[in-house]
């Protein structure tokens, strides 16, 4: 199966390769190299990592939607640029390996992948890192690395955590692509929607996620993930500690007051 062809147009040198917008506590992070089908080069890697740090530090942003400009979500690494993984200090083993959202940056604010068109390599690894996946009906998912003679490491860790092992290995070991409906069938995508409804559906879900107290939502999200890898007693003890901490926040007091007064709560993420 041939790789998707990129557009021939050149991108303006000064145009950002990642867009960040916040509207009503929902941040939209957009891969923005449409002329290259959002392939990640060195400059885009720097912008992506900085954007995720910005989202983490942004008290007004409670949920993130991750999407792509143009025909694709992201076709993976830009093969013409060897710095797509980033350039970091360190030597050999000392070089950091958890340095991006894809590779394990801890983000407990809910994240929604809104996937249209090609979603390959780095793109699929990022999608597998998101809490929710909404696929357009034209989406295609794949891990082509083995067909290029290289292994995917983080993808090989993430995919079996999202879908049954044999389906994860089918993607990882063959390099084949699957369509949106197959992705929904194996549990990779939660929803399949018409392409022109993709962002509307993502925003609708994001709005629902903003109805809960943001600090409580993050605590529950973290426990849902960490609890899968902890012994039962350790998970419960950690969860109880987090619950007691969150119970002391202003939002927890506001939630109880709103319930007593029969009104909608006004969350402040503190």
- The first and second tokens of residue 11, run together, are 């991108």
Same domain, 95 and 170: yes
Same domain, 55 and 186: yes
Q: What is the DSSP string of 63-75?
A: EEEEEESTT-SB-
Same domain, 42 and 176: yes
Tell me, yes or no, whether 36 lies in a domain: yes
Same domain, 72 and 175: yes
Residue-wise pLDDT for 97-114, tens only, equals: 788 999 999 999 999 999
Tell me, yes or no, whether 12 lies in a domain: no
Q: What is the pLDDT of residue 73?
A: 98
Same domain, 130 and 226: no
Same domain, 22 and 139: yes
Tell me, yes or no, whether 162 lies in a domain: yes
Residue-wise pLDDT for 204-233, tens only, equals: 999 999 999 999 999 999 999 999 999 999
**CA 69 to CA 19: how far, in whole Å?**
9
Tell me, yes or no, whether 187 lies in a domain: yes
**CA 99 to CA 88: how far, in whole Å?**
9
How, if at all, do strands 111-115 and 132-136 pair? parallel
Query: Residue 220 is part of a domain; what is its CATH number?
Result: 1.10.12
Q: Which of 177, 192, 209 is the last residue of a domain?
A: 209
Name residue, tokens 């960490």: 226
Name residue, tokens 């290029």: 148
169, with CB counted inside 10 A (0-12, 13-18, 19+), is middle
Same domain, 222 and 95: no
The boundaries of the domain holding residue 227 are 214-261
How many independent structural domains does the chain possess?
Answer: 2
| β-pair partners for 68 | 31
0.75 exceeded by pTM: yes
């Amino acid at each position: 199966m041939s790789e998707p062809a990129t557009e021939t147009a050149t991108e303006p040198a000064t145009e950002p390769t990642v867009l960040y917008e916040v509207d009503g506590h929902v941040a939209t992070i957009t891969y923005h190299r449409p002329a290259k089908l959002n392939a990640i080069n060195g400059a885009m890697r720097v912008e992506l990592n900085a954007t995720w740090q910005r989202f983490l530090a942004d008290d007004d942003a409670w949920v993130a939607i991750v999407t792509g400009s143009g025909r694709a979500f992201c076709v993976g690494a830009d093969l013409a640029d060897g710095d797509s993984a980033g350039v970091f200090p360190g030597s050999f083993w000392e070089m950091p390996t958890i340095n991006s959202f894809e590779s394990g940056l801890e983000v407990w604010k809910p994240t929604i992948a809104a996937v249209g068109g090609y979603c390959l390599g780095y793109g699929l690894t990022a999608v597998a890192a998101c809490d929710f996946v909404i696929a357009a009906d034209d989406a295609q998912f794949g891990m082509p690395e083995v067909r290029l003679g290289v292994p995917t490491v983080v993808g090989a860790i993430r995919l079996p955590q999202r879908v049954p092992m044999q389906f994860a290995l089918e993607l990882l070991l063959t390099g084949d692509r699957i369509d949106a409906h197959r992705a929904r069938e194996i549990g990779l995508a939660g929803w399949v929607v018409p392409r022109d409804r993709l962002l509307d559906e993502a925003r609708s879900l994001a709005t629902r996620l903003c109805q809960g107290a943001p600090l409580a939502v993050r605590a529950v999200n973290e426990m849902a993930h960490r609890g899968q890898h902890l012994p039962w007693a350790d998970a419960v003890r950690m969860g109880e500690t987090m619950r007691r901490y969150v119970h002391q926040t202003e939002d927890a007091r506001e939630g109880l007051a709103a319930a007593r007064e029969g009104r909608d709560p006004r969350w402040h993420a503190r």
